[in-house]
Structure 1
Amino acid sequence: MEWLGFHFITELPIDGQVILNCTHDYSLVLLAYLVACAGGFATLDMAERLRHTDKPTSQWLWRGVGAACLAGGIWAMHFIGMLAFQAPIEIHYEMPVTLLSLLIALLASWLAMHTLSDPDLNLWQYVQAAVCIGLGIAAMHYVGMAAMRSNAQAYYQPGLFALSIAIAIGASLAALLLSSHLRNGSGLFHQLLKYSASLILGAGIISMHFTGMAALSLVLPTDSAQTLPGDNNHLQLALTVATMTLLIIGSSISAALADKKLQHKERDLQRVNTLLGQLDQARLSLQQVAHYDALTNLFNRRGFNQIFAEKLSEKTRDGGRLAVMFLDIDHFKRINDSLGHDAGDELLKVIAGHIKASVRSQEDVVARFGGDEFCLLIGLHEPEEARHLAQRIMSNLKEPIELAGRRMVMTTSIGISLFPEDGNTCEELLKHADLALYQSKGSGRNGLNFFSAHLKTRATLELQLEEELRHALRENSGLMLCYQPIYDLETARVSKLEALVRWQHPVHGLLMPDRFINIAEANGLIAELDNWVLRQACEDLAQLSRQGRDDLIIAVNCSPLSLAREELTDEIEQALRRTGMPPHRLELEVTENALMGNIANTLVLLRQIRALGVSLSIDDFGTGYSSLAYLKRLPLNTLKIDRSFIQDIPGATQDMEIVQAIIAMAHTLNLRVVTEGVETIEQFEFLERNGCDFVQGYLLSRPVPLAELHSALTDIDQRKPFRAVSLLSLAGGTAALTLTGPFAKSPGLHAGASVVRPIR
């Protein structure tokens, strides 16, 4: 049977002689196997190169190199296998047909490499490609065998012929699957897998060849002359072909390895460049974080200080002037407390925009130091330029701001220091601007102040006083209590004492509370100072009890900051327990503003104090919130009218009406009333006439130390209530009164002194 030019054996020819003793040179068979393995390894390596190459030109290059290596390996294996075939007749090969087989091998190999360049094929697509490649390899093999020329006729056994084609297809499928699997990976184990796969592929390729050779039978016709094979150089030719093929394959593999290393270096370089880019980006980000405020995108303290140092050095070298401005938003804490921190942040952004829009040029530096504190650095020619800029900022900030559905107007306090007048270093200028800001805030806010020498002197003094006050509290030296009597108008006796702290300073003499209370509050010493006053007052109260004054009540002032501490109740209880004093003999005076600062927490703390049995008094009433809605909720015992309402009586009719209203309101709320600052007999009579419960002031006594208190109390107790006056004369609608009662010896008055007042 003949098909496509091939003769298949159905039965032996009658007129022919079958040659049975064809053999193979096993050394060449082994050489052919090695060449096939080299071709398989090259295929796997080139497939890996294709996987790791992104450039289209490089992919085409390695696809061509891989196809050449695979075709060369398969064709060289076939050629060497044919040279290994030995028959007892002379055989030669036609070169054109042989080269045609090589061309077929190249086409099949190109198809194989093209298939491997696509990473997204499924199994069915791999099978289709394997069929095409296997048929191509089989075509290469049998075309190559067709190039064989001899006196014998070539016949093929159909079964082995079909098996060889099946082996070619199977080997192709195995090669495709192994290549797709092994083209990803690295390391020693990956290389061992590639070597093992190459041996398997070589075995598949050579199996296909020798299966095809096994299907071949040569029949020599009886009428042809049998020519014996002559001397040949098959071994030398096979070695030459194998050497050339292996050199080509080896060169290709070496080139692939070199390209792989180069690509790794390029990728390493790309990674290094990427890392350097990321580092640059990180450096810029860190610089942004380190030198800029995240909320407002203004400079922060670090960035400001760096630019400040540069500009200061420039102005010092070339001449010029600078102004440093500290800005603090007035009452900004109320925004955070009432609307929340998110609203506060939005407000800061708006304020930062207003400040930035107020400066004159890009050379002016605006920074946010934290919270609601901003700082400006501006170049100027005259100091008044700084004043004008500050006023422009204050004016811009007064424009209404829409925030959380509300329109609000913010004000700012500004402190200014000038270079070179106020300092030559960054630290000095910043410190002096801060002192000027402190002066602006202390002057009622919403203003500006330039630094002056007396501010530095005062700041130095306050720092010194802070250190010395800390030492005085630690060593319990220098601090003392003075007591001012509080007169009970109903019993006509002194029933209370107000404890007032004084500081006997070794250099500055006796200091009043207004000289050091603010320092204590600003530096975290007020809690310790209040606790000292509380303990000392209880100890003095115990001493008065031992002297027979066991009916006196001592009123102790409490700072607003101490009223916010939960420990206050325990400190009061400990002081009473240590001295053995009953709680009802202690009264705690708190200011109106302190009570209203945080009403919910304040109520809890005041109820705890009242539960101990300690009385509560609201001091300076009328100077703060004066909210009756809150006042009726507070567990108070006493209301104390501030001296500002009594000092102009009887001359101020409006003040008299206010005091009358306060007394009536307090009695309605079951509160007893103390009026402080009573200095004249007219004030005393007015308060007595309008139902005031207690009076306190210089008319009775100035605050005196504990050592002088006994004599002061004795003197007041020995006086009779002021009831009678001697009418000495009447003239022009006035009466001259001679004091004969208990206030004849009051401070500021002498015995027998006359007071002239209108007759009503």
Structure 2
Amino acid sequence: MKSQPDAISRMVAEVVTQLPVPSRLGMLRFERLNEPSWALLFLDANCERQFGQPAMELCALVDSPYASLMEPEARYRLHDAIQQQLRDSPHYLIRYTLHTTKGALNLLELGEAYRQHNRHLLRGYLMVVDRLFEGELRLPTPSALHLFQRAVEQSASAFLLVNCDGVVEYVNPSFTAITQYTTDEVHGQRLSQLPALENLSELLFDAPSALTMGNSWQGEFKSRRKNLEPYWGQLSISKVYGDNRELTHYIGIYEDITQAKLAQQRIERLAYTDNLTNLGNRPAFIRNLDERFARDRDTPISLLLVDIDNFKRINDSLGHQTGDKLLISLARRLRNSLSPSGSLARFASNEFAVLLDNTDISAGQQVANQLLATLDKPMFVDNQLISVTGSVGLACAPLHGRDPQTLMRNAGLALHKAKANGKHQVQVFTEALNAEASYKLFVENNLRRALAQNELDVFYQPKLCLRSGRLLGMEALLRWNHPEKGMIRPDQFISVAEETGLIIPIGKWIARQACRMSKNLTAAGLGNLQVAINLSPKQFSDPDLVASIASILKEEALPANLLELELTEGLLLEATEDTHLQLDQLKRLGLTLAMDDFGTGYSSLSYLKKFPIDIIKIDRSFIHEIPDNQDDMEITSAVIAMAHNLKLKVVAEGIETAEQLAFLRRHRCDVGQGYLFDRPIPGGELIEKLKRYPRGPIA
């Protein structure tokens, strides 16, 4: 080095007390009382690797556990030697032996005296002396500088000494090993002139640098070797001041952490990448969204949640392997349909998320519709042409949320609404969806209690033979008498019951009440009246469905032909092999099976061949405008004729006028129900009100 030896000695001693991570050089920082007790106040945690004991066990004011590892006579003698050295110099250097659980260790202790809270203390560094130092220790009065230089030269860490003008004054061999620059190539050169060190120059001398306000900096940096190969380093830099407290040098220590960094990047890639599609996963997307809000909360962004409709049916029918290949193809399509600035992630099994920067609600809707059009195109997977559709929920910031959580929640509400409205559509978030979500939460919380506290009730609407006018049976209709809200209609809570699974216990309760009512009507002399109950598709997910209905029939002693089950078209559309088996088993019990709301959904004549259906129910929407709507009249008459040709009976719902009744009779509709005959009747009033109807056998 170019400095004078005394100045260098002072500088190195100063470095030893300022260096933030000397343990990288095999040195352990300590603080202790300047007393013969050698009571430690602090010891570097890395001591456990060398001493075999954790630092917390060696640091104590009572019993001096660190001093107990030393020979007592040596301890007092060394204390006196320290005081003698400190009278002549601000620093001291001693050597002694510790008897640890790992055996005897030779230590060098380099330190200085200081005062704190009127107590005399010592601080500095301990260095375990290995064989490499034995020769130096045999020399007369080895200097602190010499030993420190030996530690630096043999360290696996790169060591760098730069003056305040940015000129390199010293580097050790590990610096050369990491950067490929030799000592001669860098000595006397400015950092800014060396490609491998130019970013260090920026750190030291640029105004925004952390070192401009503090005395040290630690962190990672990316640089290049002499051959321009990139590498990562873990760096610690400290300022060094002269006797007049003016900045003289910078000391830097760093290690090559390239392999660790690459391993970390691989781990991060695994943690934030979807293994199937190679898109970002949910955590990656949320992190991206958080970072976007941290940068800018005012520029509009659009968040789209894209769900592949009825994907479970594809997995069930074609297998999960084909389903996975389909997802890979869909991910590729979605990625190719977005601009480079759009962020796409796989959010769940069949759900994707899209983040569009600088995109308002109008542009967001346009992209959402483009994505739906992209999904609509059939694709070949495993030599099969597969068609899918999608549903999209859209929320925009800051309009629909000024933080990531709110925006995510609102996009989710919009997606849920799109699926509830029939799927294959884009739904933009509105405040009404918030109110709807709050109401659903209210319903879910209260509905659990309603069943236990007898708040649910069953009303019954009579069903008449349209030819004779005789009473044939009734349909059981669920009602909820809430203690505060009053009577709540089924359309206000059934969907929540289905989503939460509460429909399964509620459905069993309705079946029991309906069977019991049919028995009570027979006992009251009203004859054998068939009662119809609605079955939700969700109830078919219950493996005990058939057994529970059979058990209820047996326990209530009701003949199976007096119970009718009304099935939705949605159930038949999405029916699996298990559903088909359940329907066959229910039919074998002797029950009547009806297709409810025929014509309102995805009606197909194939259902009537494929499933053991006995009755078709024409939805009230076709009856309501008879005789004013010619189309409804033609559809209704055609359905009746078709059903009769298939030997099926027809029930018309929602009959309210004499004209509607006359039309249905003219076209030989079998059974009808509606306000023209009776509104739904509470169970407690049913027996009395049914007495006015002429009675007959089941039609």
Using the size of structure 2 for normalisation, the TM-score is 0.58
Deviation of 1:458 after TM superposition, in Å, equals 0.9
Residue in structure 2 matched with residue 70 of structure 1 by the alignment: none
Kept in 2, the 8 Å contact 1:701–1:712? The answer is no
SS of equivalent residue, structure 2 residue 691: helix
Q: Which amino acid aligns with 2:398?
A: P
Structure 1 residue 561 corresponds to structure 2 residue 538 = yes
Deviation of 1:563 after TM superposition, in Å, equals 3.0
Q: Any residues of structure 2 matched to 1:598-677 within 5 Å, and which?
A: 598=575, 600-677=577-654
Residues 686 and 458 of structure 1, relative CA distance in 2, 3 Å threshold: same
Residue in structure 1 matched with residue 292 of structure 2 by the alignment: 311
Residue in structure 1 matched with residue 208 of structure 2 by the alignment: none
Deviation of 1:692 after TM superposition, in Å, equals 2.3
Kept in 1, the 8 Å contact 2:471–2:694? The answer is yes
Deviation of 1:450 after TM superposition, in Å, equals 2.8
Q: Which amino acid aligns with 2:399?
A: E
1:376-396 per-position Cα deviation (integer Å, ceiling 9, x unaligned): 223216443433433443444
Residues 281 and 549 of structure 1, relative CA distance in 2, 3 Å threshold: farther
SS of equivalent residue, structure 1 residue 366: strand
Residue in structure 2 matched with residue 428 of structure 1 by the alignment: 406
1:265-305 per-position Cα deviation (integer Å, ceiling 9, x unaligned): xxxx9xxxxx9987655533331221111112111111122
SS of equivalent residue, structure 2 residue 692: helix
Q: Which amino acid aligns with 1:323?
A: S
Kept in 2, the 8 Å contact 1:573–1:612? The answer is yes
Deviation of 1:406 after TM superposition, in Å, equals 4.9
Q: Which amino acid aligns with 1:588?
A: L
Residue in structure 1 matched with residue 331 of structure 2 by the alignment: 352
Structure 1 residue 576 corresponds to structure 2 residue 557 = no
Residue in structure 1 matched with residue 479 of structure 2 by the alignment: 502
Residues 507 and 283 of structure 1, relative CA distance in 2, 3 Å threshold: same
Q: Which amino acid aligns with 2:344?
A: V
Deviation of 1:408 after TM superposition, in Å, equals 5.3
Rounded to whole Å, the distance in 1 between the matches of 2:397 and 2:569 is 44
Structure 1 residue 682 corresponds to structure 2 residue 659 = yes
Kept in 2, the 8 Å contact 1:315–1:321? The answer is no
Q: Which amino acid aligns with 1:303?
A: A
Q: Which amino acid aligns with 1:336?
A: N
Q: Which amino acid aligns with 1:285?
A: R
Gaps of 5+ in 2: 1-153, 155-176, 178-255
Greater gyration radius? 1
Q: Any residues of structure 2 matched to 1:358-397 within 5 Å, and which?
A: 358-362=337-341, 364-380=342-358, 382-397=360-375
SS of equivalent residue, structure 2 residue 448: helix
Structure 1 residue 418 corresponds to structure 2 residue 396 = yes
Match of 1:468 among 428, 446, 450: 446
1:485-538 per-position Cα deviation (integer Å, ceiling 9, x unaligned): 001235432120100101112333222211111111112222122111111212
1:470-496 per-position Cα deviation (integer Å, ceiling 9, x unaligned): 2212x1422111100001235432120
State, as a whole percentage, how many aligned pairs show the same letter: 39
Residues 331 and 603 of structure 1, relative CA distance in 2, 3 Å threshold: closer
Residue in structure 1 matched with residue 523 of structure 2 by the alignment: 546
Rounded to whole Å, the distance in 1 between the matches of 2:427 and 2:612 is 43
Residue in structure 1 matched with residue 506 of structure 2 by the alignment: 529
Rounded to whole Å, the distance in 1 between the matches of 2:604 and 2:428 is 38
Deviation of 1:409 after TM superposition, in Å, equals 5.5
Residues 709 and 446 of structure 1, relative CA distance in 2, 3 Å threshold: same
Kept in 2, the 8 Å contact 1:417–1:436? The answer is yes
1:433-491 per-position Cα deviation (integer Å, ceiling 9, x unaligned): 11122223334434333322221111111111111112212x14221111000012354
Q: Which amino acid aligns with 1:427?
A: Q
Match of 1:698 among 654, 672, 675: 675
Residue in structure 1 matched with residue 315 of structure 2 by the alignment: 336
SS of equivalent residue, structure 1 residue 328: strand
SS of equivalent residue, structure 1 residue 604: helix
Rounded to whole Å, the distance in 2 between the matches of 1:366 and 1:626 is 36
Q: Which amino acid aligns with 1:420?
A: P
Q: Which amino acid aligns with 2:279?
A: L
Match of 1:459 among 412, 437, 440: 437
Kept in 1, the 8 Å contact 2:360–2:396? The answer is no
Rounded to whole Å, the distance in 1 between the matches of 2:369 and 2:662 is 51
Deviation of 1:351 after TM superposition, in Å, equals 2.5
Match of 2:275 among 294, 319, 327: 294
Rounded to whole Å, the distance in 2 between the matches of 1:509 and 1:704 is 17
Kept in 1, the 8 Å contact 2:305–2:354? The answer is yes
Rounded to whole Å, the distance in 2 between the matches of 1:640 and 1:654 is 18
Deviation of 1:626 after TM superposition, in Å, equals 4.1
Residues 445 and 666 of structure 1, relative CA distance in 2, 3 Å threshold: closer
Gaps of 5+ in 1: 1-261, 263-268, 270-274, 719-760
Rounded to whole Å, the distance in 1 between the matches of 2:552 and 2:646 is 30
Rounded to whole Å, the distance in 1 between the matches of 2:637 and 2:365 is 48
Residues 423 and 537 of structure 1, relative CA distance in 2, 3 Å threshold: same
1:31-87 per-position Cα deviation (integer Å, ceiling 9, x unaligned): xxxxxxxxxxxxxxxxxxxxxxxxxxxxxxxxxxxxxxxxxxxxxxxxxxxxxxxxx
Using the size of structure 1 for normalisation, the TM-score is 0.54
* The structure with more helix, counted as a fraction of residues: 1
Residues 631 and 576 of structure 1, relative CA distance in 2, 3 Å threshold: same
Kept in 2, the 8 Å contact 1:632–1:669? The answer is no
Kept in 2, the 8 Å contact 1:380–1:386? The answer is no
Match of 2:266 among 285, 302, 319: 285
Residues 493 and 340 of structure 1, relative CA distance in 2, 3 Å threshold: same
SS of equivalent residue, structure 1 residue 302: helix
1:200-249 per-position Cα deviation (integer Å, ceiling 9, x unaligned): xxxxxxxxxxxxxxxxxxxxxxxxxxxxxxxxxxxxxxxxxxxxxxxxxx
Residues 328 and 687 of structure 1, relative CA distance in 2, 3 Å threshold: same
Rounded to whole Å, the distance in 1 between the matches of 2:557 and 2:359 is 70
Match of 2:455 among 478, 484, 508: 478
Rounded to whole Å, the distance in 2 between the matches of 1:593 and 1:386 is 31
Rounded to whole Å, the distance in 1 between the matches of 2:486 and 2:630 is 40
1:154-204 per-position Cα deviation (integer Å, ceiling 9, x unaligned): xxxxxxxxxxxxxxxxxxxxxxxxxxxxxxxxxxxxxxxxxxxxxxxxxxx
Residues 536 and 642 of structure 1, relative CA distance in 2, 3 Å threshold: same
Kept in 1, the 8 Å contact 2:302–2:364? The answer is yes
Structure 1 residue 320 corresponds to structure 2 residue 299 = yes
Rounded to whole Å, the distance in 1 between the matches of 2:370 and 2:466 is 57
Kept in 1, the 8 Å contact 2:518–2:528? The answer is no
Deviation of 1:410 after TM superposition, in Å, equals 4.4
Kept in 1, the 8 Å contact 2:307–2:352? The answer is yes
Kept in 1, the 8 Å contact 2:501–2:538? The answer is no
Residue in structure 1 matched with residue 416 of structure 2 by the alignment: 438
Rounded to whole Å, the distance in 1 between the matches of 2:615 and 2:393 is 42
Deviation of 1:690 after TM superposition, in Å, equals 2.8
Q: Which amino acid aligns with 1:635?
A: P
SS of equivalent residue, structure 2 residue 625: coil
Rounded to whole Å, the distance in 1 between the matches of 2:338 and 2:609 is 51
Residues 510 and 660 of structure 1, relative CA distance in 2, 3 Å threshold: same
Residues 651 and 296 of structure 1, relative CA distance in 2, 3 Å threshold: same
Residue in structure 1 matched with residue 57 of structure 2 by the alignment: none
